[in-house]
C-alpha cells in the first residue's frame, strides 16, 4: 500500500467539467500565454461554453486534488480535408508551468487518444502555434506528423497542423 503522502502526489486524469473555478483558472492562464504570442484573430480558442458541448471530451489532470493540466478532443464529422473521415481535434492542451517536465502533457494526450479510439475515431488532428516549440516537440515526439490545414483554419504561417492515425 502506498504511503498517504505518495497518494496525495499521485496524478489522476479523468473527464471533468471545464467550468470549475480551478480549471477555468488554468484555461485563463493558457489564454493569457497565447495572447502574448499571437494576435487575437490567430488564437482559435474554445471558451468554457464551447467546451461544455456534447462533441467535446474534456480531461483534467490533478495532483493532490489540484488541477495541473487540461486537454480536450472535439469529435468532428468528416470533411474534404480529411477525405470524409471523422476525426478528433485535440484542443486546450495545457500544463501548469510549475508542473512541467513530468510528462503530464503526454499522459493527457494519451488519454485523449484512448478516448477517441474507444469511440471508433481513428484520426486525431490538431492546430497549434508555430511559436509554441515545446508543444510542437510534444506532438512530434508522440507520433504526430505535419499535414495541411483543416477545419476552416487559415494557413496563415502562424499555425502548424498535425495528424496521427490512432
Q: Taken in order 117, 119, 125, 128, is the CA torsion positive or negative? A: negative
Where is pLDDT greater, at 64 or 42?
64
Mean pLDDT value across residues 86-115: 96
Residue 85, pLDDT > 90, answer: yes
Residue 69, pLDDT > 90, answer: yes
CATH number listed for the domain at residues 4-165:
3.40.630.30
pLDDT band of 43, cuts 50, 70, 90: confident
Mean pLDDT for all residues in the chain:
93
Sequence ranges of the domains in the chain:
4-165
Mean pLDDT value across residues 38-56: 92
What angle separates helix 133-141 from helix 104-118, to the nearest 10 degrees?
50
- CA neighbor of 100 nearest in space, from 108, 91, 112, 92: 108
Residue 49, pLDDT > 70, answer: yes
Q: Give the integer Cα–Cα distance in Å for 135 and 79.
A: 25
Mean pLDDT value across residues 16-29: 98
Amino acid at each position: 500500500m502506498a504511503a498517504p503522502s505518495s497518494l496525495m502526489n499521485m496524478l489522476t486524469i479523468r473527464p471533468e467539467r471545464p467550468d470549475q473555478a480551478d480549471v477555468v483558472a488554468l484555461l485563463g492562464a493558457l489564454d493569457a500565454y497565447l495572447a502574448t504570442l499571437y494576435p487575437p484573430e490567430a488564437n482559435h480558442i474554445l471558451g468554457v461554453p464551447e467546451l461544455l458541448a456534447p462533441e467535446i471530451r474534456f480531461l483534467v489532470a490533478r495532483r493532490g486534488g489540484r488541477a495541473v493540466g487540461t486537454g480536450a478532443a472535439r469529435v468532428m464529422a468528416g470533411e474534404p480535408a480529411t477525405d470524409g473521415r471523422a476525426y478528433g481535434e485535440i484542443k486546450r492542451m495545457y500544463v501548469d508551468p510549475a508542473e512541467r517536465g513530468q510528462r503530464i502533457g503526454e499522459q493527457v494526450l494519451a488519454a485523449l487518444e484512448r478516448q477517441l479510439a474507444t469511440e471508433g475515431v481513428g484520426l486525431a488532428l490538431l492546430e497549434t502555434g508555430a511559436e509554441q516549440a515545446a508543444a510542437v516537440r510534444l506532438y512530434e515526439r508522440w507520433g504526430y506528423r505535419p499535414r495541411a490545414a483543416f477545419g476552416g483554419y487559415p494557413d496563415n504561417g502562424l499555425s502548424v497542423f498535425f495528424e496521427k492515425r490512432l
